[in-house]
Amino acid sequence: MGISDLLPHLPGGKSYLQDFYELRMEQNAVPIDAAGLLWQCALMHSSEYLSGNLLPALIEWTQHLNYFRSICQWKMRLYLDGMNNPHKEFENERRRLRRDSAEHEHGRIRNTPEYLAQAAWIAKNVLKIPCYISKEEADPQVAYEAVSKGLVPVTGDSDLIAYGAVKVILVKSYSRGWYRVIDLEVDTEPGEYPLYDLYKDNGVIVFQLYAGCRGCDFTNEECGIKGIGFTAFMTIASAVEGDLNALTFSKAMWSSDNTKQIALDNQMESVEQVETYLQHIINIFSDATIYDEQSNTITMKGMTVEEATDVLEM
């Protein structure tokens, strides 16, 4: 689901562009979170896919990759999801329930291990495009590649912004070529994007707190903290004195009768409980496990955790 209601409050988030060729990204490597593209390819051929015939979706996948490589001249680096992220259990359950209750076959599509394996084999061995399996989800791995090498990633997921990516191509539809360019380095007029102003003053923790309040893949509730919309979030954040973090945000939330009541309505009965909840979300983003260039497992903070026994590249 990404981070709820984030993109419209950032530069580039209100405007859809069309035609990937116009991005002119042929000079540098282009890291791609392939999960969204694979899902959309399966969606285009949902009947066959759900019946077990993966070939039409894989042909669609091959055609898209050929377009990006031959027409757009992208030097792609594809990243696929690895092991399940245990922190995503609530979102996984929400998705399962939606699939189980879906009346239309489109609502039952999900990327299966067999589908991912065949897609990776085609990319690596037929098209000769570098293809990598992430430690867990591809989101933090792609963000790491983008941040550490100054690259612009392509994804369908706004989570990359909370992992620290500063410029992202967020795709709505691969088949139609619809996308948004989120750029967190552009100059804007003060007050034009209040959330962006807050980010420029405080850094990526703003988006991590926003994810916890408004809802993301890691929140118990899809909406995050019920009752906190964009205006309430900005009111609380603006009341913080000093550094913005889970504790200062929680204290600011508790200092107002209105927002304190929101916390109580969400079974958070003290500043400490609000802080614990928000810090948990922050830690999930900052402690996400990824592979470095030597296939060591590290966190987004950059601390080596263990020597990887897996092989990064397929």
Superfamily of domain 7-183: 5'-nuclease (3.40.50.1010)
- 218: tokens are 């890691």
pTM flag (> 0.85): yes
- Alpha-carbon gap, residue 179 to 176, rounded angstroms: 9
Per DSSP, the three-state class of 252 is helix
> What letter would DSSP give residue 193?
S
Looking at residues 183-208, what average pLDDT do you find?
97
Share of the chain above pLDDT 90, in %: 84
| pLDDT tens-digit series, residues 196-221 | 999 999 999 999 999 999 999 999 99
Looking at residues 2-23, what average pLDDT do you find?
95
Main-chain phi, psi angles of 29, to 5 degrees: -65, 150
> Tell me, what amino acid is at 198?
L
Alpha helices by DSSP H, listed for the chain, are 34-44, 46-50, 55-66, 89-101, 113-121, 138-149, 159-162, 194-202, 205-214, 230-238, 246-254, 257-265, 271-286
Domain boundaries, the chain: 7-183, 194-286
Task: Provide the pLDDT confidence category of residue 102 given band limits of 50, 70 and 90.
Answer: confident
Name the residue with higher pLDDT: 205 or 1.
205
